[in-house]
Structure 1
Amino acid sequence: MAKLKSLIKIEGTLDDLTFYKGKEGFLVRTKGGVSKNRIDNDPAFARTRENGSEFGMAAASGKLLRRSILDLMVDAKDNLVTSRLTQVMMKVKNADTTSPRGQRNVAVGIASPMGQLALKGFNFNIRAIMSSVLLSDIALTTATGEVVISDFTPDQNLDIPQGATHVSFSSGFLNLDFATGDKDLQLSPVSNLPIDNTTTTLTLTPAGVPVGTGSELFFLKVAFFQEVNGIQYALNNGAFNALQILEVL
């Protein structure tokens, strides 16, 4: 590392030199780092290769899950959902206690109680956490995916965004095989309600039980709308919509 003495203050990379501003002023250093070839082949980087392999598989599993629920997630997600879900999938992968290092994966980890617990409760929109948006108890029947919200009063049991006049509820029952990629998502009809003081019991029943031998995941979605001249419009492009994984089996 050397100090740059010049009237011209440079920041960035030029050939093999990197210019940057530090506590002591503008500094310059040669480009460093380990070559890809060494990382790929040097025994000293075995752990690095193993960690990279497992991270890649966790990221792929997160992508598979997101693509499996596009119909639910399209208007109920935040800008960091990809990285947040990958972090959770890394925890699920860590629950794989049988595969060797470098080969631990979500497909094995999700079959364990620890792996299922890591994914349970995940919120796809960090700006709208389900427990903060919906202030009611939720009853789930895992055999059918049916979700029941009893004695629900929109004005009292919702954290209502400004401008919202209506709210919609829907549920999803997903069978997803993280090893093969096979998936089947069954959705309930959408229940749309005006936001008022009317009390009702919401029953959301998916169209059927999904087929397959993978993991079973159960979802609940809450979406807000504003009615103008008899037409309901998504409120702020879904910024306040909540989508959560209720259970993983």
Structure 2
Amino acid sequence: MAKFDGIFEIKGTLQGMSFYKSKDGMMIRKKGGIDKSRIKNDPAFQRTRENGTEFAHNAKMGQLIRKSVANLLSLAKDYRVSSRMSQAMSRVKNLDLDSPRGARKVWIGIVNPEAKQSLRGFDFNLNSPFNSVFRAQYTLDTATGVVSILGFNPATNLSIPQGATHASLSVAVSNVDFQLDNYGTTYSPKENFALVDGSVDLTLTPTGMPGGTGSTFFYFLIEFFQEMNGLQYPLKNNSHNVLYLMEVV
């Protein structure tokens, strides 16, 4: 696949090449391909079948994580988060050192400490990375999901986007069982405050810890608002909001 950079915008097929518009601009690719039945049955395509099976598995596992935080994802994401999460699941799957190629599983790979480390720090909105927006120290209690922030000053500890007057901080905890294809998520109340100079100690406490036998994911959400006539409105359709994966245990 290649990007088309020409003076005319072409859509459709021309001389065996397909032209189409994507979010990255005009793209071009060769029309057609190998017959599906050959890919499915020809021994020469064994590796292709194995890769396809694992690709589908990665996508499904990434979708499960996104579903587990759908309420948060509706507030903070970029348009490539689905593919980026599938890539993250591929890295976890690769750490399944027991299963044969084509049958490696995320729920086996996630047991590896290296897999958990690869997921920590995942930003769901790369337009607003956590470490570029949030400049305070925090502590996370993985037994309770509580996040404590001492001496938090919105004026100095946040990178404030133009037009924002208020912000909210909150956390969430999800238990995701990849093998059983289920999850449970709990949330903290949102701490809302004006973006002015002044320090305060914040404690973000989930309503409880989700049950289950899977892996536990800890999330941090930052939302920005603009106040007008006493009402707060999401700033620029949530494009500056932050959703960050703090920890996986």
Q: TM-score, normalised by structure 2?
A: 0.88
Change (3 A) 1:69 1:31: closer
Quick one: distance in 1 between partners of 2:194 and 2:224? 10
- Which residue of 2 is the match for residue 179 of structure 1? 179
Higher Cα Rg, which structure: 1
Q: What's the CA shift for 1:33?
A: 2.9
1:75 is paired with a residue whose SS is coil
- Which residue of 2 is the match for residue 124 of structure 1? 124
**1:163-204 CA deviation, whole Å, 9 max, x = no partner?**
101010000011110111221101001100110111011110
- Which residue of 2 is the match for residue 4 of structure 1? none
Change (3 A) 1:32 1:209: closer
- Which residue of 2 is the match for residue 18 of structure 1? 16
1:34 is paired with a residue whose SS is coil
| 2:198 is the counterpart of 1:198 | yes
| 2:239 is the counterpart of 1:239 | yes
1:218 is paired with a residue whose SS is strand
Q: Count how many residue pairs are aligned between Structure 1 and Structure 2.
A: 230
Pairwise mapping of residues 54-69 of structure 1 onto structure 2 (< 5 A)?
54-69=54-69
Residue 17 of structure 2 contacts residue 31 of structure 2 at CA under 8 Å; is this kept in 1? no
Moved runs in structure 1, 4+ residues, more than 2 A? 10-14, 30-33
Change (3 A) 1:82 1:140: same
Q: What's the CA shift for 1:31?
A: 6.3
Pairwise mapping of residues 1-249 of structure 1 onto structure 2 (< 5 A)?
13=13, 18=16, 33-249=33-249
Residue 11 of structure 1 contacts residue 18 of structure 1 at CA under 8 Å; is this kept in 2? no
Residue 149 of structure 1 contacts residue 202 of structure 1 at CA under 8 Å; is this kept in 2? yes
Quick one: distance in 2 between partners of 1:12 and 1:209? 52
Change (3 A) 1:19 1:192: closer
Quick one: distance in 2 between partners of 1:122 and 1:237? 21
Q: TM-score, normalised by structure 1?
A: 0.88
2:16 is paired with a residue whose SS is strand
Residue 96 of structure 2 aligns to which amino acid in structure 1?
A: D
Residue 76 of structure 1 contacts residue 239 of structure 1 at CA under 8 Å; is this kept in 2? yes
2:150 is paired with a residue whose SS is strand
Change (3 A) 1:50 1:135: same
CA-atom RMSD, angstroms? 1.9
Residue 127 of structure 1 contacts residue 239 of structure 1 at CA under 8 Å; is this kept in 2? yes
Residue 76 of structure 1 aligns to which amino acid in structure 2?
A: A
**1:22-73 CA deviation, whole Å, 9 max, x = no partner?**
xxxxxxxx96632111110111111110011001000001111101101111
Structure 2, unmatched stretches of 5+, are 1-9, 20-29
Quick one: distance in 2 between partners of 1:201 and 1:97? 45
Residue 107 of structure 2 aligns to which amino acid in structure 1?
A: A
